[in-house]
Amino acid sequence: MRHRQNARTAAKERRGASRRVINRIAQYRCGLGALPRSCMVTDISANGARLYSEADMPETFTLSVTGEQTDIQHECRVVWRLGGEVGVTFTDGRS
């Protein structure tokens, strides 16, 4: 049990910003002229996000999340993969 708590604490310390759960469908695009593909954003922070996709996501892409209050768009780079889950960092410097 103690090992799990230490692992969770270490993961939180690596993140520069706290994440919030949103569970929202989003679109990602691999480049200019590419058709958008769908994914699920399970959580997001000012610095990155956790996504889920059944398709193999590219290493870099543009993520667009349409929301009730604001629209979010970021250039992303994959930092980890685990099955259909992908962790990305935002590379465009916008929060």
Provide the pLDDT for residue 31: 84
Q: What's the pLDDT tens digit per position in 49-73?
A: 999 999 999 999 999 998 767 788 9
What's at 23, amino acid-wise? N
Specify the 3-state DSSP secondary structure of 7: helix
Provide the pLDDT for residue 15: 56
Q: What's the pLDDT tens digit per position in 11-34?
A: 444 556 788 999 999 999 998 889
Check if CATH label 2.40.10.430 holds for domain 18-90. Answer: yes
The pTM for the full model equals 0.78
Identify the H or E element spanning 8: helix 2-14
Tell me how far apart the alpha carbons of residues 76 and 29 are, in angstroms, rounded to a whole number.
10
Handedness of CA 88, 53, 72, 18 (dihedral sign): negative
DSSP state of 31: S
Identify the bridge partners of residue 35 per DSSP, sorted by sequence position.
none
The residue to which tokens 């768009």 are assigned: 73
